[in-house]
Every structure is written in C-alpha cells, then in structure tokens.
Structure 1
C-alpha cells in the first residue's frame, strides 16, 4: 500500500508562548480533497504554512508520501500553494505565468510550451496563452492560478481561501469547477476556508478547527447530521439553540429545562447528568409545521409560534417564528408546497420535532456561527 500524500503528526506551533496549533494530527490519502474549516484565527492558515515550509513547527512531524519534510526548505518540497489573491504576474501573459516555475527549473523551451498548452487544455482554456492577465475574468484567473501550480505536478496542492475574493455567483460556480479539476488531475488538494458551504460541497473529508484544535474530522454528512461537539453543531450549517439545565436523562435522551422556560428533549451527545448545564441544537429544516397537535403526533418537542418574518431565498427560504409561550425566536425551513408554503407575518402555527432529531451537548459558552434561539 502506498503512503498517504500527507501525514501531520502531533503538530504544535507557538508564537511567543501563545499556542496557535495544539497537537493536531491528520492523514490525507492520495488523490483526495481535504478541507480545514474554521473561523478566522483558529490556526488553519498556520497549519497550511507549516506544510508549505514557511513556518517551522514547535513540535510534531509532517510527512509527504512517507518522507519527513521538517528539515526540507519550501522550494525543495513537492508542494504548491494557491493564495486568496492568486499572485499572478500582471506583466506576463497567461503562458508565461503558467510556465514560470518550469523556467526556474530550466526545462527546455519546447517542453515548457508543450506542458503549458497541455494544462490549458485540461483546465478548459485552450489557446489563451498569449492573453494578458488583465484581460481574464475572475474565474479564468482562478483556473490559471491553479494551472500554474498543476503544471509542476505537485504531490500536494495547498489552497488558502482561494475563492474569498470572488463575487457570490462566481464563487458558487468555482466550487463545482474546483472539485472537477481536482478529480481530473487526481492531485491531493488541501483546502482551508471559513466558508462551510465550500467545504461541504467540495471535500472528501473535512476537519472542523477551533482555537488551535480539530473538533471533528469526517465527511460532510457526518459533520452536518452527526456533530460530535457543540461547536461543530453550531458552526456547520444553521441551528436553533437553547441553553438550560438537564432535568433528567433516560435511554440516551436528555430532558432539559431551557432558560427561556421551555422543556425540551434531545439525543444526548457527550456526558451530561441531571443538574448539568447543557445546550440543545435543532436544524431549521427539522422543525415541522402543523395546525393542531394531531399533525405533530411523532414530535417529542412542540410549541406554538407566530411568524415574525419570512427570509426569502428560493428553495432555501426560512420563516422566523416567535414562540408564543416564551418569546424566543427560532428558524423553520419554509415549505415549498402545501398549505404552509404561503405562511406570512402574523400567522400562527404549531411546530415540533422529534427528540432524536435534536442534539444535547454539555454547555460550552458562546460559539461562533450559531443562529436561531440562544
């Protein structure tokens, strides 16, 4: 069995006594798309720069295809990096930008021209070699920046929030194109981002990072539907959240008296006992509407709500509901058809969800990226 393209073992990085990366280990199999997802300042760029060789770890090891690169300078590692602002040379045309690294390797001119033409064909931009960088669209610049790295045939391509400077529509399109390019080249991509949609759409595996550590590592479905910590439940996707105190635990279900007065039931994640502080999360799309209790017979949690606003976003539209009993505001996915599709401000509706569709974690305090009740 071949060695994975990238192995990071017990990585630690400290700056003046402050720990930016704290005992992080992960493996990236050959030819996969791996993302590190987390808020600004969590340490993900520090990991990227250590892999590239721009920073030296305080401790730990980095291995590329089985060989340690701790003592290998950046220009000797078979790793390339795409930055957010792409760093294309404006005074060079497209072909010269892509061939820059090949010229530094002193390859014959004919071979450089052949490889540049070949990589332009693969990224879907044949024949644009003579064009100036300023004449390219944002998506074309993105692909040229990737081609400049891929023409060097790296073992690992590092991408540091490369879509951050693009407008929303182009960013959505480039997510699909990036994944397709990665699959076509078969090169291992290590991608860092604070944008959960980028990570969920493109990645084979994702590490969710917070305060220098990995909170959870898994595929997109696991992170979204089976979060292991309160941070992951709140950061990945949107969630309604309640804080409170556990009243009882039975059969893996926690009953919590929320601070706003509601009694809520949820699947227990982590260790909690009666009297402990906890928080419960439920996704907006799992909050089901009904006009009377009989329609919500399978729901362990029920409340009455009044629609305060509709957040229209096509198929992803949401209704904001104010709980009649407590005044708490929560989000519900707006049905696209049926009698609840026309909900509007001021409408009253019963809503509910099953206990096993919600998650109860030991309380951790305020977390980034959490919406809904709090």
Structure 2
C-alpha cells in the first residue's frame, strides 16, 4: 500500500544554516507518526515544509504517491493543529468546526450533518451551540481537531498541541489523542520535544537531532535498542558513563570509566576496540538492589555503595547511590514491591545489572 506521506531527501537551508539535512521517511496509512527532538533540531521546519508554509531547498514530499511541491498550502490534502488552537471566540462550537466547510461552499444541511458527526466522534455530542470560553482545555483541544477532521485531510499535522496544557490535562490528552486518531482513522504526524508524549501515542517515532534523523522505529525499539548515543541519552532516563575501552570479549566490552568504575556492557558499536573512548548507558530500572553482595552473584556488574538521595515519586521513586571508588552517583529505580521503601540517605546497599543492559557507543557520538 502506498504510504500516506513520503519525504525524500528533504533538505532546507536558511542562508548558511542547514536546518534539515536530507531527511527521508514514510508514514504508513492510518498510523500515528511522531518526530521527537530537542528545540532547534529542525522538526518544526519539516512540519512546515509538509504543510506548504516553507519550500524545501531540495527533495520531494509526496502524499499518497503524488508530489505536492507545486501545490499551495490551501490545496494540499493536509490540515494542521497548532500549539495555540486559534479557535474563534466570537463563534459557537458548531460554527468553529464548520468554518472550513463554509469556506468550501458546502450546503448548510451538509455542514450541519458533518459537524454533528464530528462532535460525536470527539465524544462531545450536543455542544454545538456552546461558546468557546465555556469549554475546558481538553474540550477545546478536541474541537480544534474536529475542525480539521471535518475537511477529511489525508494527513493531519500536529505541532506540539499539548504544550500549553497543564500537566494533568496533558497526561489525559495523550490517551485521548490516540483514541481520536483511531476514531477518525486518519494519519497523524505529530512533533514534540516531550519523549513521554511520543512514546505513549506513536506507532513509529523519528528521533531528530541537528537536522537529521538519528533513528526511526517503535517506542520499544528506541527505548530498548537505541541505535546511537544520542537516542540512548535522549529517550528515557539513563546513567551515562564516559571512559576508555580496556578490552573486548565477543559481544561485550569492558570499560574503565572516568569516574573510576570498571563496567561490562553490550558492544553496540562493533568498531570499538581497546584504547578507544566510549560511553556506556544503563537504565535506572535495569539495576537491581539487593540486601547482600551474594544475592547479585549472577550479574556481570556488581557494586556496593551509599545512598546519597531518595527521590520519591510514587511508583517511579528512585535512589542515588555512590560507590566508594567512584565520584559519580548512580540512579536506581526502587522496586514497586516496596521491599526497599525504608531506604534513606546514608544506607549501605548492593546493586547489580547484566552486561546486556549497558549500551555502549563511541564517545562524542551524542
């Protein structure tokens, strides 16, 4: 099946600045695709080129197999939801949703029917006569999406639409957006700097950095099998140690970290060899806490240390541990069983993890 969206070696320069550097990707029909990256990485520039607000320096943009480079924004089969929703306060909800349909010249009865169908799909039936300022933030978000979806775009572009919402509403809207995408069965292309948004909602995610895509894959791929040091450090939380490779043993390498630890990790970068500078990344939840060193006998990496901080966050609580021979603190998630809930600053603990949980990359690649 032809993808809904294809970007082929898409490049954008602003004078001497290379904002987007030969980015290529495709978005399968009916999927939720996110572009995730830090501010200034080029993700908004990609979005604006797809929408037609910016002209690429080179490359092609195809929607369902047809190039749209020569198609003006108002003629492209896409629509866009911005961070600031720009609902019209002088109009009621029905008029807001039907605005684009009126501009297209549809009959009044057809507009009314499409507006009612859209309100049903977003779970807000019967509110057409209400004013914008009578809605909650989440309801306004859904109305903004409905206003786009009644025009039946082949691709809906969403430019950090949750950024202006408070934390609790943002968490709820992650689930609602995914549900809305399924209800409309339309391809969503979403940009964000918030990794949680991308991981929760997306079928596929592209991690962008300095104008290029570092990795494209599912949330599980990016989290558990990062392809680069940047992805390992940007997606999720990780302990990160730079150091020097002491030796290589098959798929594993032994790293002497700058902080004084000897760690064994998985050699993701096959070019690494003894003497090379490298970095190892280990997730806090991959590290096990045990009451004694004997309980960690099966782990490749075993350390004893002192708890320097307890970071309480309910089910996501963790401790920071400092090994006697190191200058760094190690973040360790507390098990949800509550077995170690009593730990406090100054407690002595034993921690360990398998070599396969440590992703190693050449230093300076992030």
In the superposition, the TM-score normalised over structure 2's length comes to 0.98
Q: 2:144 aligns to what?
A: 145
Helix, strand or coil: the match of 2:148? helix
Q: Retained in 1: the 8 A contact 2:293–2:304?
A: no
1:170 is aligned to 2:169: yes
Aligned residues of 1:311 and 1:319 also touching (Cα < 8 A): yes
1:302 aligns with 2:302: yes
| Structure 2: gaps of 5 or more residues | none
Between 165-174 and 315-324, report the one with greater CA deviation.
315-324
Displacement after TM superposition at 1:327 (Å) = 2.9
Does structure 2 conserve the Cα–Cα contact (< 8 Å) formed by 1:116 and 1:151?
yes
Residue matched to 1:337: 337
8 Å Cα contact 1:304-1:325 kept in structure 2: no
Q: How does 1:9-28 map to 2 (within 5 A)?
A: 9-28=8-27
Q: How does 1:317-332 map to 2 (within 5 A)?
A: 317-332=317-332
Partner of 2:350: 350
CA distance in 2 between partners of 1:176 and 1:228 (Å): 27
Q: What is the deviation of 1:16? A: 0.7
- 2 CA distance for matches of 1:99 and 1:331? 51
Deviation at 1:335, TM superposition (A): 1.7
Residue 6 of structure 1 and its aligned partner are, at CA, apart by 0.2
TM-superposed deviation, 1:266: 0.3
Q: Flag structure 1 segments of 5+ consecutive residues without an equivalent.
A: 368-374
Equivalenced residue count is: 365
Give the Cα–Cα distance (whole angstroms) in 2 for the partners of residues 263 and 182 of structure 1.
Answer: 47
- Deviating more after overlay: 282-291 vs 148-157: 282-291
The answer to whether 1:36 aligns with 2:35 is yes
Question: Cα deviation per residue 1:136-169 (whole Å; 9 max; x = unaligned)?
Answer: 1000000000000001000000000000000111
Indicate the RMSD between aligned Cα atoms, in angstroms.
Answer: 1.0
SS at match of 2:33: strand
Task: State whether structure 2 residue 346 is matched by structure 1 residue 360.
Answer: no
Task: Give the match's secondary structure for 2:294.
Answer: helix
What's the CA shift for 1:339? 3.6
Task: Give the SS at the match of 1:315.
Answer: helix
In the aligned structure 2, how far is the partner of 1:291 from the partner of 1:150?
56
Which secondary structure does the structure 2 equivalent of 1:209 belong to?
A: strand
Contact 1:9 1:26 in 2 (8 A): yes
Report what 1:289 is aligned to. Answer: 289
Deviation at 1:236, TM superposition (A): 0.4
1:201 maps to 200
Aligned match of 1:370: none
Which residue does 2:108 correspond to in 1? 109
Q: Which residues of 2 match residues 50-69 of structure 1 at below 5 A?
A: 50-69=49-68
Q: CA deviation at 1:344?
A: 1.2
CA drift at 1:307: 1.1
Give the Cα–Cα distance (whole angstroms) in 1 for the partners of residues 286 and 197 of structure 2.
23
Give distance in 2, aligned partners of 1:31 and 1:138: 26
